């Protein structure tokens, strides 16, 4: 692992999420191998890598989505193993995932969706935080009538409503207009203040805001350290795993 | 004085209140079995009805140009353990008229019963009719429901019909709707049904887009569980220039239930276009996971998805 760090937990930080040599394979073909990564409480960890590097797969593995059982290693959350727990049990322990392409529903309003699993939440306040006017959205259906960007913002509002201990955000700014990027960055920071964030992003400025970062290539972490160091490494096109052919092609 | 006690009892069973349909400014027709209980007209809405051994015959007319502010209520039901209710309904919406009809079909009590509806509906040019038919059934599963309608949608008219049977056991349901749409007319049919145990559901809906720029949408949402069966036919025919139609069928299957969908699209004019989409299977995995990620158990998530689809 290069260039500047083999240390995956900042000194003194309490690990909230621990991925211990995590491996995942489909039909014997390794998708993720030897993933060691921690996220401490109050920390934001950025995950970088080219499309297909395994970032979203890792997010779904941590969340416990169907067909994403570990083939090696362990996942600990707040010190307890969670890799055998079903998705909803992980959610109840405080892990939340904002999908890259969130689901749409018939017969479910935005307001109802935001209240699911978050009875104490203030849906209007959560919508305002992501730049949506509550009166325009609370009664709207969470269906195909929403644009991709609107649905994405609502997904972030949904995660805010849950007040998770760990928010996994899969490309939170994709589909969001250029002028609103800073607004979404503010939401990511708010989630970090609430708990911790594992952030998958292709946006340099957002990754730079993290406390630490990891670069994935071909299902392995090839670089881990400060965001500046990992971003710089990513830009050198000098991947120790593929010589830049796979992760920078 | 009509006896509305069975009506109140039935509405109470599903948390409803019949007061709006008995309001003095709302037209209504109420029949228990083959007994005519109450008939009330409103300005611009005439209701003629007669009842006999062979059933209830009714003719409802909304006068031309009349916009009816209050919904018109048709309330049918059976309040005995066994019974038959056959209804022949003729409805005419005058040119440029607008109205919303609610059909409340109450079959919460019978163990074995048959309810048939044979409707002839005509929308004159520019008329607008919204027809909501909601069935409330009990747990018996012994109800046979046969709604049949032939609808003519005139030039520039708009017809929208929503059928819902999601409370209680369906029993046997055989919907048969046929609609002809003239130039620039629109027809939208939505059916939502939830079948349990041995319920048997058959839905046949056909829209014929006969006039230029006619529009048609058939939307079917069916969930079946246990040993229930559902067969859905949604057919749209594009027969004129600029006609546009779409058939959208979604069925969720649980347990040993079986569902089939036959979208039939036919175009006989080169400038017409008809599309269809159908999905049958278990609940969408991404939807399921999205709800579980909010802490819902798999069972709670599936129930929420089905409830939403049928809402």
Q: Which residue of A has its CA nearest to B192?
A: A107
Token readout for B148 is: 């049949």
- Cβ atoms of residues A36 and A9 within 8 Å: no
Bridge partner list, B209: B181, B238
Token readout for B201 is: 């559901």
Task: Choose among A63, A66, A92: nearest Cβ to B285.
Answer: A66
What confidence tens digit (pLDDT) does each residue in A88-103 have? 999 999 999 999 999 9
pLDDT score for A1: 56
Q: Which residue of A has its CA nearest to B284?
A: A103
**Chain A stretch 118-157, residues whose beta carbon is closer than 8 A to a beta carbon of chain B:** 118
**Distances B23 to B18, B27, B41 between C-alpha atoms, Å:** 9, 8, 11
* A30/chain B closest Cα distance in angstroms: 23
Is the minimum CB–CB distance between A184 and chain B shorter than 8 Å?
A: no
Per-position b or e across B172-207, b if 16+ CB within 10 A of its CB: bbbbbbebbbbbbbbbbbbbbbbbbbebbbebbbbb
Q: Do B290 and A96 touch (CB under 8 A)?
A: no
Is the minimum CB–CB distance between A160 and chain B shorter than 8 Å?
A: no
Query: Which residue ranges in chain B fall short of pLDDT 50?
Result: none
DSSP A213-228: EEEEETTEEEEEE-HH
Q: Do A92 and B295 touch (CB under 8 A)?
A: yes
Closest CA to B86 of B121, B113, B120: B113
DSSP state at residue A13: P
**Distances A52 to A61, A68, A219 between C-alpha atoms, Å:** 15, 16, 9
Size of the A and B interface in Cβ pairs below 8 Å: 62
Is the minimum CB–CB distance between A87 and chain B shorter than 8 Å?
A: yes
Chain A residues closer than 8 Å to B295 by CB: 88, 91-92, 116-117, 162
**Chain B stretch 202-231, residues whose beta carbon is closer than 8 A to a beta carbon of chain A:** 221
**Chain B stretch 287-306, residues whose beta carbon is closer than 8 A to a beta carbon of chain A:** 287, 289-298, 301, 304-305
Q: Do B305 and A91 touch (CB under 8 A)?
A: no
pLDDT score for A147: 94
pLDDT at A12 over 60: no
pLDDT at A210 over 90: yes
Chain B residues closer than 8 Å to A86 by CB: 292, 298
Tell me which of B221, B251, B289, B305 to substitute to probe the interface with A (most A C-beta atoms closer than 10 Å). Answer: B289
**What is the C-alpha to C-alpha distance for residues B163 and B193, in angstroms, rounded to an integer?**
8
Per-position b or e across B34-47, b if 16+ CB within 10 A of its CB: bebbbebebebbeb
Closest CA to B127 of B184, B206, B50: B184
Which residues does A80 contact at the CB level (< 8 Å), separation at least 6?
A: A93
DSSP E strands in chain A: the ranges are 15-26, 29-40, 44-48, 72-77, 80-81, 95-98, 166-170, 197-200, 212-217, 220-225
Q: Do B295 and A103 touch (CB under 8 A)?
A: no
What confidence tens digit (pLDDT) does each residue in A42-86 have? 999 999 998 889 999 999 999 999 999 999 999 999 999 999 999
Tell me which of B290, B296, B299, B302 to substitute to probe the interface with A (most A C-beta atoms closer than 10 Å). Answer: B290
Is the minimum CB–CB distance between B66 and chain A shorter than 8 Å?
A: no
pLDDT score for A60: 97
What confidence tens digit (pLDDT) does each residue in A104-117 have? 999 999 999 999 99
Is the minimum CB–CB distance between A162 and chain B shorter than 8 Å?
A: yes
What average pLDDT score do residues A158-164 get?
Answer: 97
DSSP E strands in chain B: the ranges are 28-32, 35-40, 45-52, 55-62, 72-77, 82-93, 98-107, 112-123, 128-137, 143-153, 158-167, 172-181, 186-195, 200-209, 215-224, 229-238, 244-253, 258-267, 273-281
pLDDT score for B67: 98
**What is the C-alpha to C-alpha distance for residues A46 and B288, in angstroms, rounded to an integer?**
27
Q: Do A103 and B307 touch (CB under 8 A)?
A: no
DSSP state at residue A109: B
Is the minimum CB–CB distance between A62 and chain B shorter than 8 Å?
A: no
DSSP state at residue A41: T
Chain A residues closer than 8 Å to B294 by CB: 91, 96, 116-118, 158, 162
Is the minimum CB–CB distance between A235 and chain B shorter than 8 Å?
A: no
Tokens 């369906």, residue located: B170
pLDDT band at A240 (very low <50, low <70, confident <90, very high): confident
pLDDT band at A241 (very low <50, low <70, confident <90, very high): confident
CA A120-A125-A131 angle, 5° bins: 145
pTM metric for this prediction: 0.86
Predicted-complex ipTM score: 0.93
pLDDT score for A7: 47
* A18/chain B closest Cα distance in angstroms: 19
- Cβ atoms of residues A243 and A218 within 8 Å: no
SS3 content of chain A, % helix, strand, coil (to 5): 30, 25, 40
Task: Choose among B221, B295, B310: nearest Cβ to A88.
Answer: B295
* B193/chain A closest Cα distance in angstroms: 14
Task: Choose among A92, A107, A116: nearest Cβ to B311.
Answer: A107
Tell me which of A85, A104, A114, A116 to substitute to probe the interface with B (most B C-beta atoms closer than 10 Å). Answer: A116
pLDDT score for A8: 54
* B1/chain A closest Cα distance in angstroms: 41
Task: Choose among A86, A107, A117: nearest Cβ to B294.
Answer: A117
pLDDT score for B92: 98
Q: What is the mean pLDDT of chain A?
A: 91
* B240/chain A closest Cα distance in angstroms: 29
Which residues does B26 contact at the CB level (< 8 Å), separation at least 6?
A: B20, B40, B42, B70, B71, B72, B73
Q: Give the N- to C-terminal CA distance of chain A in Å, as an integer.
A: 20
Closest CA to B249 of B191, B186, B198, B304: B191
Tell me which of A107, A113, A115, A156 to substitute to probe the interface with B (most B C-beta atoms closer than 10 Å). Answer: A107
Q: Do A63 and B309 touch (CB under 8 A)?
A: no
């Amino acid at each position: 692992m290069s260039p500047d760090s083999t240390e995956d937990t900042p000194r003194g930080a309490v690990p909230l999420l621990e991925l211990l040599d995590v491996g995942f394979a489909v039909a014997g073909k390794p998708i993720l191998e030897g993933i060691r990564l921690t996220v401490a409480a109050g920390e934001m960890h950025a995950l970088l890598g080219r499309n297909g590097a395994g970032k979203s797969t890792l997010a779904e593995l941590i969340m416990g989505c169907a067909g994403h059982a570990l083939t090696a290693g362990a996942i600990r959350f707040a010190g307890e193993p969670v890799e055998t727990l079903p998705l909803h049990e992980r959610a109840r322990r405080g892990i939340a995932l904002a999908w890259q392409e969130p689901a749409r529903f018939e017969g479910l309003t935005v307001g109802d969706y935001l209240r699911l699993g978050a009875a104490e939440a203030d849906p209007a306040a959560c919508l305002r935080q992501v730049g949506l006017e509550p009166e325009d959205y609370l009664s709207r259906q969470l269906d195909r009538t929403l644009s991709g960007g609107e649905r994405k913002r609502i997904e972030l509002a949904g995660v805010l409503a849950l007040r998770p201990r760990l928010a996994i955000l899969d490309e939170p700014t994709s589909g969001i207009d250029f002028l609103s990027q800073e607004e979404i960055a503010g939401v990511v920071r708010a989630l970090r203040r609430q708990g911790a964030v594992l952030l998958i992003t292709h946006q340099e400025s957002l990754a730079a805001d993290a406390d630490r970062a990891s670069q994935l290539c071909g299902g392995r972490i090839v670089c881990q350290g400060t965001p500046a160091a990992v971003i710089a490494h990513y830009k050198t096109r000098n991947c120790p795993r593929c010589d830049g052919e796979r992760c920078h092609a | 004085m009509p006896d509305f006690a069975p009506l109140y009892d039935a509405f109470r069973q599903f948390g409803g209140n019949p007061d709006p349909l008995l309001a003095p400014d709302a037209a209504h027709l109420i029949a228990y079995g083959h007994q005519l209980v109450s008939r009330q007209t409103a300005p611009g809405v005439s209701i003629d009805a007669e009842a006999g051994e062979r059933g209830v015959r009714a003719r409802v007319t909304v006068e031309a140009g009349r916009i009816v502010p209050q919904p018109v209520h048709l309330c049918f039901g059976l309040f005995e353990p066994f019974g038959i209710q056959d209804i022949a309904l003729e409805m005419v919406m005058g040119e440029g008229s607008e109205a919303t009809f609610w059909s409340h079909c109450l079959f919460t009590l019978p163990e074995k019963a048959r309810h048939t509806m044979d409707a002839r509906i005509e929308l004159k040019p520019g008329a607008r009719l919204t027809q909501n038919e909601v069935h409330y059934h009990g747990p018996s599963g012994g109800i046979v429901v046969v709604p049949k309608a032939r609808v003519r949608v005139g030039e520039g008219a708009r017809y929208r019909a929503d059928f819902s049977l999601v409370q209680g056991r369906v029993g046997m349901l055989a919907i048969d709707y046929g609609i002809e749409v003239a130039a620039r007319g629109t027809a939208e049919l939505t059916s939502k049904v939830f079948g349990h145990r041995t319920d048997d559901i058959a839905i046949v809906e056909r829209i014929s887009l006969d006039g230029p720029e006619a529009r048609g949408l058939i939307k079917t949402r069916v969930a079946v569980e246990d040993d229930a069966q559902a067969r859905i036919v949604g057919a749209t025919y594009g027969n004129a220039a600029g006609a546009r139609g779409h058939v959208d069928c979604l069925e969720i299957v649980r347990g040993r239930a079986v569902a089939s969908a036959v979208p039939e699209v036919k175009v006989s004019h080169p400038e017409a276009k008809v599309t269809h989409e159908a999905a049958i299977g278990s609940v969408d995995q991404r939807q399921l996971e999205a709800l579980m990620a909010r802490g819902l158990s798999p069972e709670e998530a599936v129930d929420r998805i089905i409830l939403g689809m049928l809402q």
